[in-house]
Chain A
Amino acid sequence: MRNHNFSQTIAIRCEDPTPLIELLEQWDVDQASADIMGYMGIRLLADREEPGRYLIVADFGVVDPDVSAADEAARNNERPETQATSAAMLAHCIGEPEYHDYDELYRTDF
């Protein structure tokens, strides 16, 4: 059976994405050395049509065949370090973020 990846998108607004980028870079550095979990990577996209609007795409995959990627993402959300980074990011945002969850159906691969 195919292991479906899972992605969470977070639409945000902010004046300057620089601190967000720094937080995400540090997050990735920390995750690279941490015990493995479902987190695969993250992207921060700037909306070309609406300046000041950004989309964060966080990808999760299966590392334990008995745990889905979506469950891995849920576990990740519960971690104190995730909560702390999330709070630090939201402190730079304007208004409420908008969250959406997606199961991956197809991806261009090697």
Chain B
Amino acid sequence: MDPDVIRSGEDQERTEVRLVARGIATAVAPEEGLTDVQADLLEAIASALTGVDVDYRSLEPLGPEELAEVLARRDLDYRQRIVHHMVLAELVLRPIPTVVAHRVHLYAEALGVKDDFVRLARRYAQGAFGLAYKDLQRNGFAAHLQGGGEGEVSPGPGRGSLDPAAAPFAPAELDPELEATWRGFAGLPPDTLGFQAWDMYDARGFELPGGPGGAPRYLAQHDFVHVLADYGTNLRGELEVFSFIGRADPDPKGFAWLATLTGLFETGYIPTTGFFDRDVRERVIQAPGMHRRVADAIRRGKEVCRANNLDLFEVDYYAVADRPVEDLRAHFAVPPKGEHALEAGSVGLFDLAGMSEIQQQAVAARRGAAQ
């Protein structure tokens, strides 16, 4: 191909990235301008997803109609994901100014995007947290799961269901068959998905799914992704893994995960999801380097989405639990972590730095007992 044509295409791409960035920045900026957290996060996401570096702090405004023109050739899913970047940049604000939430709504309208998360952010801005929580339950997770195929057979053993109306908020059910399956993972070779998922639970002192106090069956699905994507289990690791899962989902509603985790662990807009409870003692996204780690998780999720077009919560990991993790990473086309994320402290699943204090204590106790 003619190099000039290639260069021309690259220039066009860069121009669009910059124009979109201007639109996003204009939409989400409070009166005093973008906060550092917003600017850092948006810059990291733009860089991770497009390879284009944009200084969000020095952008000229771009109105909703102009942004709509820029994105006219893009499909609805693409435009909706742009709106989700706006919403994410709203959700890290506490409080969200009403004027910002309303402005994002106007941008979404101009882009032809009717999105539940725009409404969610508006409810947060309004202070209607109870209504927002009901909204998130009904239209975030539940609607998403229904879209995934109501009545489908749940993957894996046991009788625990993936009831679309309740999961993942429903309390865990006792399920001896599921618990026995997880116990059986302990006998698999150490390089397999099943063994590593079991090891993650066992080392940290987690109760197994299906047993008393164990994770709900639906939520346990994400623990297999912890292994595949190699993310820790402290709040930072959880934010990474759900950023990854959310973006890997071909349905833009997968954004519910990131929106929820941000509300739980960053701004406290959400009190609980049943298994995870609000914890804002340490602002996770504001922690040094987390903007890069979240952005990289979104990038990796996007690549997995492109390769599989599959919600990772719907994968039957039990059927492949005896396969080596490396094989499965190749099968699902899970890319390695980016250098920026590693430099920013994105550690692996079995690294102590990727565990909460309580988890670290559990690991130390087990190691002590083993000696």
Contact = CB atoms under 8 A, between A and B. Distances in A.
Given A5-B127, A39-B128, A40-B126, A32 B94 contact: no
B102 A33 contact: no
Interface residues of B, number: 21
Interface in B94-142: 94-95, 98-99, 101-102, 119, 122-123, 125-128, 130-132, 134-135, 138-139
Interface of B: 94-95, 98-99, 101-102, 119, 122-123, 125-128, 130-132, 134-135, 138-139, 268
A105 interface: no
B138 A62 contact: no
Contacts of B134: 28-29, 32
A29 B142 CA distance: 13
Interface in A62-77: 62-65
A63 B98 CA distance: 6
A35 interface: yes
A32 B120 CA distance: 9
A29 B135 CA distance: 8
B128 A40 contact: yes
A40 B125 CA distance: 11
24 contacts: A28-B131, A31-B131, A32-B134, A35-B119, A36-B122, A36-B126, A38-B126, A40-B127, A41-B131, A61-B98, A61-B127, A61-B128, A62-B98, A63-B98, A63-B101, A63-B102, A63-B122, A65-B98, A65-B99, A65-B102, A109-B95, A109-B127, A110-B95, A110-B268
Interface residues of A, number: 20
B256 to A, nearest CB: 14
Nearest to A107: B127
Interface of A: 3, 5, 28-29, 31-33, 35-36, 38-41, 61-65, 109-110
A29 B139 CA distance: 11
A94 B135 CA distance: 33
Contacts of A32: 131-132, 134-135, 138-139
